[in-house]
Chain A
Amino acid sequence: MTSTETRNVGKIGDSPLRPDGTLKVTGEFAYSSDLWHDDMCWGVTLRSPHPHARIHSIDVSAALATPGVYAVLTHADVPGLNRVGLEHLDQPALAEDVVRYQGEPVALVAADHPETARRAAKRIVVDYEELPALTDPRRALDDDAPLVQPGGNLVRELAIRRGDPAPTAPVVVALDFEVGMQDQAFLGPESGLAVPDGEGGLDLYVATQWLHVDQQQVCRVLDLPPDRARLHLAGVGGAFGGREDLSMHVHACLLAMHTGKPVKMSYSREESFFGHVHRHPAWLRYEFGATEGGRLIYAKADILFDGGAYASSTTAVVGNGGTLGLGPYDIPSVHVDARGVYTNNPPCGAMRGFGCVQAAFAHEALMDELAERVGVDPVEIRALNGMREGDRNITGQLIDSAAPVAELIRTVRDLPLPPPPDDRPDIRDLPGGASNTTHGEGVVRGIGYAVTYKNVGFSEGFDDYSTARVRLEIVGGEPVATVHTAAAEVGQGLITVEQQICRTELGVDRVVVHPKNTMVGSGGSTSASRQTYVTGGAVKAACEAVRESVLALSARRLGVSGLRLDGDKIVSASGEVLAVLAEVLADEAVEETVEWHHRPTYPVDPETGQGDAHVQYAFSAHRAVVDVDVELGLVKVVALDTAQDVGRAINPDAVVGQIQGGSAQGMGLALMEEIVVTDGKVRNPSFTDYLIPTILDMPPMQVKVLEYADPHAPYGVRGVGEPPTISSGPAVAAAIRAATGKALRRVPVRPEHITL
């Protein structure tokens, strides 16, 4: 990635154009798959065809004898510890004696052409003995279940207990819900380029979400010290959690170290479905007890996440599913059990919404059930039970900034509704669209609501920080700030945010964003809606340090104290302009590096799940309006409107973009997005059969952005990226239920669930 400089003046609260925007829509942005190096060769991965099998032998001789092949590697060629994993080191970089899911990497080939490498990989002979596969997570903890991992099939179990241990209520509602396996479906498949430095180390250019954790993992497998494996962020084509775990990183590095040549790896779309983790499918059993008036007395939830063959982020997903799994409601008594288990299904891990998405479908469906039972409308029952600032949530944590649940849900209710269906509609506006399945017959409109809250940043005691280096100097007579962080820009607009903060704090117009790499301290993960908060906080703190240094320098040069910076002017205590930055700095550069930590969080109590687990909460609400062809089960979402509290919008256009994209992704899970896995095998690893919403599926949105500043966060910001993905899907599902009268206890809602 090249450094980025813009001269558009844009401080926080403005919406300067993002530097990658035009390049992306004109097809000129350099993604990681566009990387090129003279003399490079191509790496490919041989993957397991079986969900569970013992490997008796691997014969690479025919592959190695293929003309054009430089190397064929197996686990025996791994110099360091053959284990990777974000939270548990449980996954071999290359399979040893067992494969635990279809698609597990077994061997690598480097060749002069990708086609040569693929042909050679097919010549590797692996002697597999298929083993019984555990593919139903509901059986994972049975005594007779096949063992997926040597330590047992439980990844994490979390209990949350609060209030009356045996509560009763006059009104009790309950349901079972099931959520299918969603994929991040980022448009840029996994890819990168590893370049040996000729001195025993290498540089890896890769599309990722967290350079430093990748670096740790790469170094562990390669047995290299961190300064010998430098990581550089390449152009990222979307992430959504799917780039938190390693994909081709270690593999390309192994091949590069082995061949001494630059090695590029770039997955096909099909391989991409096997090359990253997915959203956990979930099985949820919920019960609410309430007063006759619909006020919650207690809530119970039993949540099971299918983690697949390796842990990835399952531990943290269970944490979120448990601690946040009852939604943004004030509930006196709580009994939650959340579990994540190993199976021989594809590994599941981080995806936007992270454990809250699955739970929200259940608690919002049940809230509608309660509303109907007690005769309160769906909006008011949420307002009635909604969390408020000063409440304690189900882990006992004080909600110490805005929690405007009632306002959000009433705001979406009060937005204008779309016009009713036309008498003579354009078929493109009807369910089925140009496929001409209805001219209005069978079409019923439904409206649904949902609310959510989501933690921002890493939780449960994780020391979550970011590092920023800011340099201020005079170039061509003009002050220029350079900001260097390792925080990954994955398309969300962080580069622009870093520039806006520098302009605001230092009064400069020109801000250069240094290429993202591991030559500066960790920026933490671009996930958990955290970068504007945490890296934004680090950049702000680094700018403040630079400003202090500049003023100290000015005080020395001018012999005056009590100075402040106003734009590029050095101003005295009495308001007199004493100098401009260019005069004071001359040819001296001021540079400061700051590691900035957000407020600490704490582990929850192992017995009760009580504790201050999270640093911040972000709230959103959606209203969906759908037209359903109830005879054919086809759905057209007519409107998907939302309100969200973002604390402070640093870049309002980018905020709205995040909300639109997140809403589309949540709607996709409600309607169509599912990796179909049968007996441990993926049946639809392509964009032909893994469907994501198109522009004809996504309606225009009304987006109401609320800005209740969080006094504990830099500028008052609140994470933005995830809440829309959580509340949009349940609102769509609710609207379909309203239109059809069907219970619809599984998403994605397939047409046959409506018609048969």
Chain B
Amino acid sequence: MDFLAPSTWAEALAAKAERPDALPVAGGTDVMVELNFDHRRPDALLDLTRVPELREWAWDDGRIRLGAGVTYARVIAELGDRLPGLAMAARTVGSPQIRNRGTVGGNLGAASPAGDSHPALLAADAVVEIASAARGTREVPVAEFFTGVKRNALAPDELIAAVLVAPPAGPQQFCKIGTRNAMVIAVSAFGFALHPDRKEVGTGVGSAAPTPRRADAAAAFLAGELEAAGLWESRAALPDGLAAEFGRRVRDAAAPIDDVRGTAAYRLHTLSVMARRAATWAWDEHRRAA
């Protein structure tokens, strides 16, 4: 197995162009497990940990540009106020050791339906910045990034450069079900964002379909009800049953399976509860912020 260790972003892109079979490795919290289990034996590994550009985050034209190599620990420590949903998700990732290694870019690269970042990024309408040596950069909305179980929109010569996220205009929430109180892979997860600036609602459903996905119909329903009742302006309390109905519609957006971590029925049930609770918490926070 070849081990490619570029020290600049340009070198990394060149290496990926030359060796499209090379498997990128960031924190290694997924890739190394697969190698150790002998589930995967790529001909080459492309180590991205020496590329300084990936470790940066900065403001970029009104958005946070989060380098693909920024760890969960830094998201929590440095971006908790600017990327609140993603930081909440980051707090649920593994153990402190894993959070020190694992990166949001790596999570996107692995594209697991259970990836903790994904529901938060979906709810926040994040955009993935993708680059190649041949074609430069392109932006893909995260909702279009996941193309199948552990598959994503990257071409063989492309790498994930960054994630672009607008700062929150309203409250965000993230909830995750696991069968112990720490260090679990999500049985199901839900990301939620209120966008009062454009009177919209963002959602993200994890571990409950072949890919992470949004619950667009549920989001449109809730945004519409808020609009119809004039609540975006009045910030009055949610009408009885609205959050619960939103929860049911989120559940309807999911297509989970039974597996060793939980049943499909339980996953659906938890999505309806998490969505109801998350919407309620976010709305209450929105009201308090008035």
| Residues of A bordering B, CB below 8 Å | 118, 268, 270, 431-439, 441-442, 631-634, 636, 671-672, 676, 683-684, 688-689, 691, 693-697, 750-752, 755-756
Whether the pair A676, B265 counts as a contact (CB closer than 8 A) is no
* B residues less than 8 Å from A671 (CB atoms): 179-180
21 contacts between A and B (CB under 8 A): A268-B37, A270-B37, A431-B181, A433-B181, A434-B92, A435-B92, A435-B181, A436-B92, A438-B277, A439-B277, A439-B281, A441-B277, A633-B266, A689-B185, A691-B180, A694-B183, A750-B262, A751-B177, A752-B263, A755-B269, A755-B270
Task: Give the interface size class of chain B.
Answer: 20 to 34
* A residues less than 8 Å from B178 (CB atoms): 432, 435
B151 within 8 A of A: no
Checking B36, B177, B179 against A691 with a beta-carbon cut-off of 8 angstroms, the contacting residue is B179
* A residues less than 8 Å from B222 (CB atoms): none
Across the interface, name the chain A residue whose C-beta is closest to B280: A441
CA distance A436 to B190 in the complex (A): 10
Whether the pair A632, B177 counts as a contact (CB closer than 8 A) is yes
* A residues less than 8 Å from B277 (CB atoms): 437-439, 441
Whether the pair B173, A436 counts as a contact (CB closer than 8 A) is yes
Chain B positions 156 through 199: 1 when the CB is less than 8 Å from some CB of chain A, otherwise 0: 00000000000000000111111111111101000000000000
Give 6 A-B pairs besides A432-B177, A432-B181, A434-B182 with Cβ atoms closer than 8 angstroms.
Answer: A632-B177, A676-B260, A694-B183, A697-B182, A750-B262, A751-B270
Whether the pair B177, A756 counts as a contact (CB closer than 8 A) is no
CA distance A434 to B260 in the complex (A): 23
Whether the pair A672, B179 counts as a contact (CB closer than 8 A) is yes
Whether the pair B274, A437 counts as a contact (CB closer than 8 A) is yes
* B residues less than 8 Å from A752 (CB atoms): 262-263, 265-266, 269
B231 within 8 A of A: no
Checking B37, B179, B266 against A755 with a beta-carbon cut-off of 8 angstroms, the contacting residue is B266
B38 within 8 A of A: yes
* B residues less than 8 Å from A270 (CB atoms): 37
Whether the pair B175, A437 counts as a contact (CB closer than 8 A) is yes
CA distance A639 to B173 in the complex (A): 29
CA distance A180 to B65 in the complex (A): 48
CB distance from B25 to the nearest CB of A (A): 19
B261 within 8 A of A: yes
* 4 cross-chain pairs, A with B, having the tightest CB-CB distances, nearest first: A433-B181, A752-B266, A696-B182, A435-B176
CA distance A693 to B37 in the complex (A): 23
CA distance A691 to B185 in the complex (A): 10
CA distance A683 to B262 in the complex (A): 12
B273 within 8 A of A: yes
CA distance A239 to B175 in the complex (A): 37
* A residues less than 8 Å from B183 (CB atoms): 694
CA distance A750 to B88 in the complex (A): 25
B286 within 8 A of A: no
B91 within 8 A of A: yes
CA distance A58 to B174 in the complex (A): 53
CB distance from B272 to the nearest CB of A (A): 10
CB distance from A457 to the nearest CB of B (A): 34
Across the interface, name the chain B residue whose C-beta is closest to A636: B181
Known A-B contacts A435-B176, A694-B180; the reply to A689 vs B260 at CB < 8 A is yes
Chain B positions 252 through 289: 1 when the CB is less than 8 Å from some CB of chain A, otherwise 0: 00000000111101100110011001000100000000
* B residues less than 8 Å from A633 (CB atoms): 266
CA distance A687 to B88 in the complex (A): 24
Whether the pair B37, A689 counts as a contact (CB closer than 8 A) is no
Whether the pair A683, B260 counts as a contact (CB closer than 8 A) is yes
CA distance A442 to B273 in the complex (A): 10
Whether the pair B176, A694 counts as a contact (CB closer than 8 A) is no
CA distance A694 to B181 in the complex (A): 8
* Residues from 67 to 115 in B contacting A, C-beta threshold 8 Å: 88, 91-92
* B residues less than 8 Å from A435 (CB atoms): 92, 175-178, 181, 184
CB distance from B38 to the nearest CB of A (A): 7
CA distance A688 to B270 in the complex (A): 21
CB distance from A143 to the nearest CB of B (A): 33
Whether the pair B181, A436 counts as a contact (CB closer than 8 A) is no
Chain B positions 25 through 37: 1 when the CB is less than 8 Å from some CB of chain A, otherwise 0: 0000000000011
CB distance from A17 to the nearest CB of B (A): 27
* A residues less than 8 Å from B184 (CB atoms): 435, 691
CB distance from B177 to the nearest CB of A (A): 6
CA distance A683 to B258 in the complex (A): 13
CB distance from B35 to the nearest CB of A (A): 11
* A residues less than 8 Å from B265 (CB atoms): 752, 756
Across the interface, name the chain A residue whose C-beta is closest to B284: A439
Across the interface, name the chain A residue whose C-beta is closest to B116: A435
Across the interface, name the chain B residue whose C-beta is closest to A748: B179
Whether the pair A751, B179 counts as a contact (CB closer than 8 A) is yes
Checking B91, B182, B185 against A688 with a beta-carbon cut-off of 8 angstroms, the contacting residue is B185
* A residues less than 8 Å from B88 (CB atoms): 436
* B residues less than 8 Å from A436 (CB atoms): 88, 91-92, 173-176
CA distance A756 to B268 in the complex (A): 11
* A residues less than 8 Å from B174 (CB atoms): 436
Whether the pair A694, B182 counts as a contact (CB closer than 8 A) is yes
CB distance from B247 to the nearest CB of A (A): 11
* Residues from 130 to 170 in B contacting A, C-beta threshold 8 Å: none
CB distance from A120 to the nearest CB of B (A): 13
CA distance A632 to B177 in the complex (A): 8
* B residues less than 8 Å from A756 (CB atoms): 263, 265-266, 269
Across the interface, name the chain A residue whose C-beta is closest to B92: A435
Checking A268, A437, A636 against B177 with a beta-carbon cut-off of 8 angstroms, the contacting residue is A437
CA distance A442 to B182 in the complex (A): 20
CA distance A676 to B269 in the complex (A): 22
Whether the pair A684, B181 counts as a contact (CB closer than 8 A) is no
CA distance A433 to B177 in the complex (A): 10
CB distance from B182 to the nearest CB of A (A): 4
CA distance A691 to B183 in the complex (A): 9
CA distance A696 to B174 in the complex (A): 19
CA distance A24 to B281 in the complex (A): 44
* A residues less than 8 Å from B187 (CB atoms): 751
* A residues less than 8 Å from B37 (CB atoms): 268, 270
* B residues less than 8 Å from A691 (CB atoms): 179-180, 184
Across the interface, name the chain A residue whose C-beta is closest to B265: A756
* B residues less than 8 Å from A432 (CB atoms): 175-178, 181
CA distance A567 to B18 in the complex (A): 78
* A residues less than 8 Å from B260 (CB atoms): 676, 683-684, 689
Across the interface, name the chain A residue whose C-beta is closest to B187: A751
CA distance A695 to B182 in the complex (A): 9
Checking B176, B180, B185 against A437 with a beta-carbon cut-off of 8 angstroms, the contacting residue is B176
* A residues less than 8 Å from B182 (CB atoms): 433-434, 694-697
* B residues less than 8 Å from A694 (CB atoms): 180-183
CA distance A636 to B181 in the complex (A): 7
* B residues less than 8 Å from A439 (CB atoms): 277, 281
* A residues less than 8 Å from B180 (CB atoms): 671-672, 691, 693-694, 696-697
CA distance A697 to B179 in the complex (A): 10
Across the interface, name the chain A residue whose C-beta is closest to B259: A683
Whether the pair A751, B91 counts as a contact (CB closer than 8 A) is no
CA distance A374 to B242 in the complex (A): 45
Known A-B contacts A683-B260, A694-B181; the reply to A751 vs B266 at CB < 8 A is yes
CA distance A436 to B177 in the complex (A): 9
Known A-B contacts A436-B174, A436-B175, A755-B269; the reply to A696 vs B281 at CB < 8 A is no
Across the interface, name the chain A residue whose C-beta is closest to B179: A672
Whether the pair A750, B175 counts as a contact (CB closer than 8 A) is no
CB distance from B198 to the nearest CB of A (A): 25
CB distance from A630 to the nearest CB of B (A): 11
* A residues less than 8 Å from B270 (CB atoms): 632, 751, 755
CB distance from A755 to the nearest CB of B (A): 6
CB distance from A483 to the nearest CB of B (A): 39
* B residues less than 8 Å from A442 (CB atoms): 273
* B residues less than 8 Å from A751 (CB atoms): 177, 179, 187, 262, 266, 270
CA distance A394 to B174 in the complex (A): 54
CA distance A632 to B175 in the complex (A): 12
Select the residue from B91, B273, B281 with max chain A CB neighbours within 10 A: B273
